[in-house]
Amino acid sequence: MKNVDQADQAHPLLESFVELVRRASTDLPADVEMALKVARDQEAAGSAAEGALDTILQNVALARANSTPVCQDTGVPIFYIYHPPGVSTQSLRSQIEEAVAEATRRAYLRPNAVDSLTGKNSGNNLGVGFPTFHFEAWNEDFVHVDLLLKGGGSENVGVQYKLPYSPLEAGRDLEGVRRVVLDAVYQAQGKGCAPAVLGIAIGADRGTGFVHAKEQLFRPLSDVNPNPQLAKLEDTLLRECNELGIGPMGFGGETSVLGVKVGAYHRLPACYFVSVAYMCWACRRARMILQTDANRQACLVGEVEYK
Amino acid sequence: MANYNLTVPISDEDIRALRVGDTVNLSGVIVTGRDAAHKYMIEHFVRTDDVPASEQALYETLREILQGSVIYHCGPVVRQREDDGRWEFVAAGPTTSIREEPYEAEVIEHFGLRGVIGKGGMGADTLQACGEYGAVYFHAVGGAASLIADAVKEVVAVHKKDEFGVPEAFWVIRVEDFPVVVTMDAHGRSIHSEVERKSKDALARLTYSVD
């Protein structure tokens, strides 16, 4: 048996990463919870939509108090990690994997990694390409870890359009983007657990389109897009998606979408993709900041900050 | 819109009294089953005259529990108690039901279900089976997992856990006052198809092009 000290030396950040997972699974970001409260007050008194949002808000409070998952579908843990050059991504990855398995043992996560060939669940959320990691070196001297827990219901209604898209007369411009995003929300109905947060990437290739679309989901709901054209599109889409009247859970109602975040990326001349990442109301994102030592080589355990 | 307290097994008369929009607090012994469970039931029990000997015991168990009861589309987070080894539900919201649409009507008929609990609604085949055999679609609030786990008072048994994995297993659970909304009734009405129709009109208005 390993003694505790040895374990700590091999995985100094293990408990910190378990705590990141716990926070993501058992609580909602304050801006999302506030948006749900605002939405509740806008629904008609006594409506099924109001009832659904009341239940959602009670559930969020209970999950926080009991430290139990907000939603049983704790999804794919998706990590976006920004780090100074020199920090070992291998070490970060192995410690995070160990933390994910430990968080599963502690019932913060449901075992969700299923072998596509045999159908066997690995039981600890570890598998080939599971969880998901995106590493990017940057010039800051700290490590920034973003975690998103994205469930299968919402993942199933995500969609990628190729413009032009003739059924909606959607051309290769922002008007075309507006049309297909409205279609995506219409197609999803209540199946992705509306009200949703939409992360949208215009451009890129098929694969990175969704990577960027999910990156957009880390922006706070109040964040205003620095590009005025995209800021305007986000406002328009937020208003118009809610005019669809799908409502919480698809019961019909005033709020189908809590936020719309759009990024634009360079594309090939021949390709114009619009990737829509549909995130359920349980928009479980969490962030931690790790300070590094003077040489930017190692992460310092004592300096963990959660956001 | 009325509010009902119902305990399984539910009678044909009681289920047909429910209308879309009604809220219900459900109690009694129900069973979770989702993708793997539905595929298994169809292949081993429903679309065959020959239940394999190895599956006979489970077949009898499920028949007894499900008659007049409901299947819950759910893959829970569970915890095993250290003292007595019993299982507990930690988080247990509904999963998206439409994936079971190819199977559900036959499962309702075969087992005499009075309903299914899930989220997102189901299609025309299930709606028709609801009218024909006396069943409804109960919508639970998606993601309300900790709240619903609170209504699960006991894990009575679990079947196929090792074969299907925790989310996909048949969990036999006793619930008290499980809060649901009727969104498809035994009279042919579905909130889901009504909302879909209205939102389709709204989409057409928002994407109208002048040629």
Count of H helices and E strands in chain B?
A: 8, 9
Model confidence pLDDT, tens digit, residues A14-69? 999 999 999 999 999 999 999 999 999 999 998 999 999 999 999 999 999 999 99
What's residue B210's pLDDT? 63
3-state secondary structure of B53: helix
Question: What is the maximum span of chain A, computed from C-alpha positions, in angstroms?
Answer: 65
With a CB cutoff of 8 Å and minimum separation 6, the contacts of A192 are A153, A154, A156, A157, A278, A280
B190 touching chain A per CB within 8 A: no
pLDDT band at A302 (very low <50, low <70, confident <90, very high): low
What is the C-alpha separation between A255 and A194, in angstroms, rounded?
A: 8
Looking at CA atoms only, how far is residue B78 from chain A in angstroms?
A: 7
Q: Catalytic residues of B, which ones?
A: 38
Q: What are phi and psi of A296, to 5 degrees?
A: 60, 25
Kindly calculate the radius of gyration of chain A based on its CA atoms and give it in whole angstroms.
Answer: 20
Helical H runs in chain A?
Answer: 4-10, 14-26, 30-42, 48-66, 89-105, 152-156, 174-188, 206-216, 228-243
- For residue B130, give its domain range: 3-206
Taking the C-alpha atoms of residue B134 and residue B118, their distance in angstroms, rounded to an integer, is 17
Give the pLDDT of residue A294: 81
B191 in any annotated domain: yes
Could you tell me which chain B residue has the CA closest to the CA of A50? B141
The one-character DSSP state at B9 is S
Phi-psi region of B188 (alpha: psi -120 to 50; beta: other; left: phi over 0): left
Give the span between the Cα atoms of B143 and B165, in whole angstroms. Answer: 20
B211, part of any domain = no
Is a pLDDT exceeding 90 seen at residue A11? no
DSSP-derived pairing of the beta strands B115-118 and B70-72: parallel
Radius of gyration of chain B (CA): 18
Q: Three-state SS for B97?
A: helix
Verify whether the Cβ–Cβ distance A280 to B192 is below 8 Å: no
B6-20 tens-digit pLDDT: 999 999 999 999 999
* Contact yes or no for A92/A81 (Cβ under 8 A): yes
DSSP bridge pairs for B184? B137, B190
Q: What confidence score (pLDDT) does residue A305 get?
A: 82
Q: Which residues of B touch A110 (CB under 8 A)?
A: 75-77, 91, 166-167
Q: Which pLDDT tens digit goes with each residue over A108-142?
A: 999 999 999 999 999 999 999 999 999 999 999 99
Q: How far apart are CA B72 and CA B132, in angstroms?
A: 20
Strand ranges (E), chain B = 3-7, 23-32, 70-72, 77-80, 87-91, 115-118, 136-139, 152-159, 170-184
Q: What angle do CA B97, A257, A228 make, to 5 degrees?
A: 145
The answer to whether A215 and A223 are in contact (CB under 8 A) is: no
Nearest to A156 by CA among B13, B142, B117: B142
**Cα separation, B137 vs B77, whole angstroms:** 23
Note whether A74 and B145 are within 8 A (CB). Answer: no
Q: How far is CA A52 from the centre of its chain?
A: 22
Q: Tell me the CATH number at B38.
A: 3.20.130.10
Instruction: Determine phi and psi for A5, rounding to 5 degrees.
Output: -65, -40
Q: Determine the distance in angstroms separating the CA of B148 from the nearest CA of chain A, rounded to an integer.
A: 8
Quick check: A111 and B98 CB within 8 A?
Answer: no
pLDDT level of residue A2 (50, 70, 90 thresholds)? very low
- Judging contacts by C-beta atoms under 8 Å, the chain B residues touching residue A107 are 77-79, 90-91
Give domain status of residue B22, yes or no. yes
**In this structure, is residue B82 part of a structural domain?**
yes
Mutate one of B96, B160, B173, B191 to test the A interface: name it (highest A CB count within 10 A).
B96
In chain B, residues 64-103 whose CB comes closer than 8 Å to chain A: 74-79, 90-93, 95-96, 98
Average pLDDT over residues A279-297: 91
Q: Residue A8 has what pLDDT?
A: 60
> What is the C-alpha separation between A26 and B91, in angstroms, rounded?
10
The Cα of B142 is separated from the nearest Cα of chain A by a number of Å equal to: 6
Which tokens go with A49? 């939509």
CA distances (Å), A290 to each of A18, A218, B136, in order?
14, 18, 52
**Domains assigned to chain A:** 4-27+70-151+285-306 (3.30.360), 153-279 (no CATH)
Selection from B128, B119, B121, B125 nearest residue B102 by Cα: B125
Q: What local confidence, expressed as pLDDT, does residue A3 receive?
A: 44
B177 at interface of A, judged by CB pairs closer than 8 A: no
Q: What is the mean pLDDT of residues A78-98?
A: 95
CA atoms lying within 13 Å on the CB side of residue A280? 34
Whole-number average pLDDT of chain A: 94
Question: Would you tell me how many other CB atoms lie within 10 Å of the CB of residue B85?
Answer: 7
Flag whether B60 is in a domain: yes
Q: What is the pLDDT of residue B71?
A: 98
**Residue A257 confidence class, pLDDT cut points 50, 70, 90:** very high
Q: Which residue has the tokens 């529990």?
A: B65
pLDDT band at A4 (very low <50, low <70, confident <90, very high): very low
pLDDT digits (tens, 9 = 90+) for B92-149: 999 999 999 999 999 999 999 999 999 999 999 999 999 999 999 999 999 999 999 9
pLDDT above 90 as % of chain B:
97
Residues A84-92, mean pLDDT to the nearest whole number: 93
* Counted domains in chain B: 1
| Å between A17 CA and nearest CA of chain B | 20
Q: Grade residue A304 by pLDDT with cuts at 50, 70 and 90.
A: confident
- Chain B residue numbers with beta carbons less than 8 Å from the beta carbon of A112 are 167
Reduced to 3 states, what is the DSSP secondary structure of residue A105?
A: helix
Taking CA atoms, A253 is separated from A126, A307, B121, in Å, by 39, 32, 16
